[in-house]
């Protein structure tokens, strides 16, 4: 693919930069973006001049999640979209696994991939970030999986590998957000830095990786990932797809689609999230909330 529409591809000084490039949508993942990202990852992996890859977002956010409207056929209603994607639970699992195979390319490419996260990293954005080998983020960025409140379960499961069972449950059971600074405290990110220093922090690490033979980088990435696979991490991804499809059958999910038909996709999300106030979990301090959840 010689040119892209929903990402930018840059190559220099031993690195590839893959930039999610729908800033007006906070880089919501369209079907086309998914395809282009997958192609760009393997293009980088095949290039012997590239030692490492950085995944980042243009505009105010890293990625706001999957663009539900962008995955619908033109003119489809929410009801028709739901039916076409979920005729049976097996159809639903198949569709989820299709997307998951695209995302797993981040884990599978031989070159190390760094997520450079700023702004919002939500829902499908967390899928991309947490499959990366290293996550470096702005202290004030926001990680969350809000769809767990009414739309299903996470279609991948790297939260457990990074943060452990208790924090994975705390965040996925509520769909609450966590700041970049707190994400680094619990292992969802390697490091959080002031937003104005984020690019410099990532680029200096890429400079160091460019000094290493890319074959050695691949070997060291591979052995860590093989360890994760021996612990069941890869098998868990497939189980996550099946679990998400099962969660789509919950009454709460049906209620979301009812609201979406009445209020639209954005309206349904806005009504849901208003109940949770600021929506933030705190890692090392009390959460004392007033009546509106703030």
* Contact of 209 with 52, CB cutoff 8 Å: yes
Residue 164, by phi and psi: left (phi above 0), alpha (psi -120 to 50) or beta?
left
pLDDT, tens only, 204-257:
999 999 999 999 999 999 999 999 999 999 999 999 999 999 999 999 988 888
Quick one: which of 126, 239, 221 has its CA closest to 183? 126
**Residue 138 is inside which H or E element, if any?**
strand 134-138
What is the phi/psi pair of residue 267, to 5°? Answer: -65, -40
Q: Where are the domains of the chain?
A: 7-196+210-274
Q: Which CATH superfamily is domain 7-196+210-274 in?
A: 2-enoyl-CoA Hydratase; Chain A, domain 1 (3.90.226.10)
Cα distance between residue 32 and residue 108, in whole Å: 20
Cα distance between residue 80 and residue 99, in whole Å: 20
**Residue 129 is inside which H or E element, if any?**
helix 124-131
pLDDT, tens only, 32-56:
999 999 999 999 999 999 999 999 9
Cα distance between residue 153 and residue 168, in whole Å: 12
Residue 123, by phi and psi: left (phi above 0), alpha (psi -120 to 50) or beta?
left
Residues in contact with 228: Cβ distance below 8 Å, sequence separation at least 6, in sequence order: 161, 234
Cα distance between residue 212 and residue 111, in whole Å: 11
Sheet with 178-179: strands ordered across? 120-122, 142-144, 178-179
Q: What is the mean pLDDT of residues 274-292?
A: 87
- pLDDT grade, residue 77 (50/70/90)? very low
pLDDT, tens only, 117-137:
999 999 999 999 999 999 999
Could you write out the DSSP letters of every residue in 254-273? HHHHHHHHHHHHHHHHHHHH
Cα distance between residue 174 and residue 166, in whole Å: 12
Residue 72: DSSP 8-state: S
Q: What is the mean pLDDT of residues 145-158?
A: 94
Q: How far from chain centre, in Å, is Cα 14?
A: 25
């Amino acid at each position: 693919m010689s040119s892209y529409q929903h990402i930018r591809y840059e190559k220099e000084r031993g690195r590839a930069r893959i930039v999610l490039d729908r800033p007006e949508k906070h880089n919501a993942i369209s079907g086309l973006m998914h395809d282009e990202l997958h192609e760009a990852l393997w293009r980088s992996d095949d290039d012997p001049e590239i030692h490492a890859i950085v995944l980042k977002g243009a505009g105010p956010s890293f990625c706001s999640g999957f663009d539900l409207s962008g995955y619908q056929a033109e003119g489809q209603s929410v009801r028709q979209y739901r039916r076409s994607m979920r005729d049976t639970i097996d159809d639903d699992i198949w569709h989820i696994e299709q997307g998951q195979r695209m995302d797993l390319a981040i884990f599978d490419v031989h070159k190390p991939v760094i997520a450079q996260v700023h702004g919002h990293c939500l829902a499908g954005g967390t899928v991309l970030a947490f499959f990366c080998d290293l996550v470096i983020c702005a202290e004030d960025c926001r990680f969350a999986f809000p769809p767990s409140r009414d739309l299903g379960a996470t279609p991948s499961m790297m939260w457990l590998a990074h943060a452990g069972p208790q924090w994975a449950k705390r965040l996925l059971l509520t769909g609450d957000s966590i700041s970049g600074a707190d994400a680094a405290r619990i292992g969802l990110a390697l490091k959080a830095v002031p937003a104005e220093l984020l690019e410099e922090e990532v680029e200096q690490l890429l400079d160091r990786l460019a000094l290493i033979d890319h074959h050695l980088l691949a070997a060291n990435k591979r052995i860590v990932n093989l360890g994760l696979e021996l612990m069941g991490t890869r098998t868990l991804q497939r189980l996550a797809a099946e679990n998400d499809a099962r969660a789509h059958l919950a009454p709460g999910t049906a209620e979301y689609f009812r609201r979406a038909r009445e209020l639209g996709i954005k309206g349904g999300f806005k009504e849901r999230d208003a109940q949770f106030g600021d929506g933030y979990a705190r890692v090392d301090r009390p959460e004392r909330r007033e009546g509106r959840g703030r």
